[in-house]
Structure 1
Amino acid sequence: MDFSRCAVVKRTNATAHRLRETEFNSSSNLDDAALYYLLEEWALNPPGMNVKMFLIPPVVCLVAGVLIIPTILFVIFSRFSIRQETRYMLLGNALLADLIYLLFYTLSAALNTAHVHLPKEACVLLLFLLAVAYCGGLFTAAAMVSDTYIAILFPLRYIAIMPPSRTKKIIVLLWMYSGAFPGIFFLVLSSTHSFVPCVLEMCSVPVILILTLNGTDAVKLCFWLSTTVIILCLSLIFCCYVILYFKTKQSGIWESICSRASVTFLMHNTVLFFYFFPLLALFIESFFCINVVTRLKTGIWVSLTVCNVLMILPKVLFPFLYGLRYREISASLKSIVRRKHPHPVSPAPSPS
């Protein structure tokens, strides 16, 4: 690994510590060499306790996700009648992608907090898997909303439009796009030599994100294209929800604020908000960071908050606010619980 080289660089620049601190907390323009060194310095010597506090949200969300997501997946894949329905296949795919993301991101955050240095190849692979899992969950969420849109607006033709065989092909295509989309981004990073060894050894996602935003023009273009595609997916989800609301407004299902349709609509939009808001915050911070409006240190703290808190929350809220709303899944879970905890039956009274 290149950690020894990083340490040498750090020692040779120790005399300029005060100057680096000024640059790190200023909003003035930095050249590429200074920027790379400052980010490497942060990766090697981050603020101890403050950064460790950011490990709590991923760990808590992972524990909650591990408790509920495998249970829902077991219900979906163990019941033939459930796993043959399009909505449940897409739900299972989304939950699987979210669970993978929770596992790998918590692993990355734990390694970073423990100052465990990874080889460059291992960090790149971890980042790629995180990107694939995130795109898989987002694309599947968009497919789920599109499926609901088709089911409500074309109820008589729904079976012909979305049979189980076609749904399986769609899921395969979703994973292919989820792998190809970040794959292009990583190829651009590799070809432009934008990977910095010292930062990759710590494998800090927020630091790498800030470095990407201040990279070459090709890397910036890939980032903005990626952001555009993600926002388009979220806009598609939002537009489908709005159209469904106005199409079903005259049916009377929205009259009571406590009706099942109203509560489900509110929960779905809550999940959508938690998906959209972190990206919006990241988008605004990226704009400020690139245009040198905010300090570099502020950008890293914002990235830490977005990556370790805001982008993790939708992954653990999704199964609770979305998955458990399906009657078949909740009924199956209740039957499993009853089977594990049988109620004692009192003996019948003897005839007198």
Structure 2
Amino acid sequence: MENFSIIVSFELTMDPFCIPPGVKVPIFFFGIFMYLVSAFCNLTLLLLIMLQQSLHKPMYFIMFNLPLNDLVGITSMLPKVLSDIVTETSYTYYPLCVLQAALLHMYGGGVLFILAAMAFDRYVAICMPLRYNALMTPKVVVTIVSLVWGLDLFFIVLLFSLQGNHPRCRSNIMNVFCDNPSLLKLTCSNTTVNNIIGLFNTAVMQVISVSIQAFSYVKILITCLATSRSEAKSKAINTCLSQLAIFIMYEIFTTFTILSYRFKNVNPDLQKIMGMLIFIVPPLLNPIVYGLNSHEVRSNLQKILRRKIYM
């Protein structure tokens, strides 16, 4: 058995990217640009839904949670990573590391559950349009949103409640940001239970989300193919395909990152980049695919811009 010393210090070191000094500043500014674009687009969508009375509908009440979740995800990860790159510092403190990991995992679960809720809403709207208002009442919508965040919070608490049971004997986070697998690598005790619960959480969340989305989109496509209105059919199919493309991209990044922790021969920088893309790509694309792609959102944004121009 290998002997370990218990570490009580809160300071942790991160495993930085191997970046040549000459490109650190360009990478920093490019990263800041992506963050500002994402923050602007998501905040714009949030404000539109809040301030425009015409968007106070079940669909947009559910959609409101997506830019909110995206802001949590990209803000919890990207500014810290960019700061470490440009300042050439790579340390954090254990409580902050746990907080960042919890927020990032909450973002990941939020993406799955929010997209499932939005897919179900579109299923009711397209497949049962005459019953939509009767089915998607304010009470039902509040229940759906409460389930989204309630389930997400439940799985996060279940995952991180076991962290405190293990003494730390290492102080190096093998990533550029904190997540549950990186935190588990700090301990020198048996983490089998944590790994099982982590995989169980991931499997259950994926099954719930994928099942709801698969059912909803299959029903939507069947309804669209059965309709004689070619314009409505084309619009609904294009919407479904664009939303599915974002979801599949997110699943590829997530699956690669989860599996990469199980294999030792994965390039560390590739693992870090794929992990970061989980928190960068959806917040950049979601406001366009789910927000500006909507005719109502675009028309409301145009009204506000015209009003500002002619004031």
TM surpasses 0.5: yes
Distance across 2 between alignment mates of 1:45 and 1:32? 27
Q: Once the 2 structures are TM-superposed, how far is the Cα of residue 212 of structure 1 from its aligned partner?
A: 4.0
* 2:239 corresponds to: 264
* 2:227 corresponds to: 251
Structure 1 residues 206, 257: closer, same or farther in 2, change over 3 A? farther
- On the 8 A contact 2:35/2:74 being kept in 1, the answer is yes
Does the alignment pair 1:238 with 2:214? Answer: yes
RMSD over aligned Cα, in angstroms?
A: 3.5
The 5 A counterparts of 1:180-191 are 180-191=154-165
* Structure 1: tracts of 5 or more residues without a match: 1-30, 34-39, 344-352
SS in 2 for 1:90: helix
* 1:176 corresponds to: 150
Q: Once the 2 structures are TM-superposed, how far is the Cα of residue 301 of structure 1 from its aligned partner?
A: 2.5
- On the 8 A contact 1:278/1:310 being kept in 2, the answer is yes
Distance across 2 between alignment mates of 1:302 and 1:185? 26
Structure 1 residues 340, 120: closer, same or farther in 2, change over 3 A? same
* 2:249 corresponds to: 274
Q: Share of identical aligned residues, percent?
A: 22
SS in 1 for 2:162: helix
Distance across 1 between alignment mates of 2:19 and 2:261? 25
For residue 120 of structure 2, what is the amino acid of its counterpart?
Answer: S
- TM-score normalised by length of structure 2: 0.81
- TM-score normalised by length of structure 1: 0.73
Q: Once the 2 structures are TM-superposed, how far is the Cα of residue 256 of structure 1 from its aligned partner?
A: 7.3
Does the alignment pair 1:59 with 2:35? Answer: no
* 2:54 corresponds to: 81
SS in 1 for 2:97: helix
Q: Once the 2 structures are TM-superposed, how far is the Cα of residue 116 of structure 1 from its aligned partner?
A: 4.9
- On the 8 A contact 1:75/1:329 being kept in 2, the answer is yes
SS in 1 for 2:20: helix
Residues 272-326 of structure 1: per-residue CA shift (max 9 Å, x gap): 2222111222244344x1xxxx42xx35333212122244202210111121122
* Mean CA deviation greater in 184-193 or 324-333: 184-193
* 2:76 corresponds to: 104
For residue 306 of structure 2, what is the amino acid of its counterpart?
Answer: R
Q: Once the 2 structures are TM-superposed, how far is the Cα of residue 246 of structure 1 from its aligned partner?
A: 1.9
- On the 8 A contact 2:242/2:289 being kept in 1, the answer is yes
State the structure with more CA Rg: 1
Residues 138-170 of structure 1: per-residue CA shift (max 9 Å, x gap): 211111101111222333332222212331233
Structure 1 residues 234, 54: closer, same or farther in 2, change over 3 A? farther
- On the 8 A contact 2:224/2:232 being kept in 1, the answer is no
Structure 1 residues 341, 86: closer, same or farther in 2, change over 3 A? same
* Structure 2: tracts of 5 or more residues without a match: 5-10
Distance across 2 between alignment mates of 1:223 and 1:148? 31
Residues 114-154 of structure 1: per-residue CA shift (max 9 Å, x gap): 42533211221122122223322321111110111122233
* 1:49 corresponds to: 20
Does the alignment pair 1:120 with 2:94? Answer: yes
* Mean CA deviation greater in 271-280 or 93-102: 271-280
Q: Once the 2 structures are TM-superposed, how far is the Cα of residue 76 of structure 1 from its aligned partner?
A: 0.7
Distance across 2 between alignment mates of 1:32 and 1:310? 37
Structure 1 residues 207, 100: closer, same or farther in 2, change over 3 A? closer
Structure 1 residues 206, 238: closer, same or farther in 2, change over 3 A? farther
Name the count of aligned residue pairs.
298
Paired residue for 2:286, among 306, 311, 318?
318
Does the alignment pair 1:132 with 2:101? Answer: no
* 1:303 corresponds to: 271
For residue 39 of structure 2, what is the amino acid of its counterpart?
Answer: V
- On the 8 A contact 2:104/2:179 being kept in 1, the answer is no
- On the 8 A contact 1:65/1:316 being kept in 2, the answer is yes
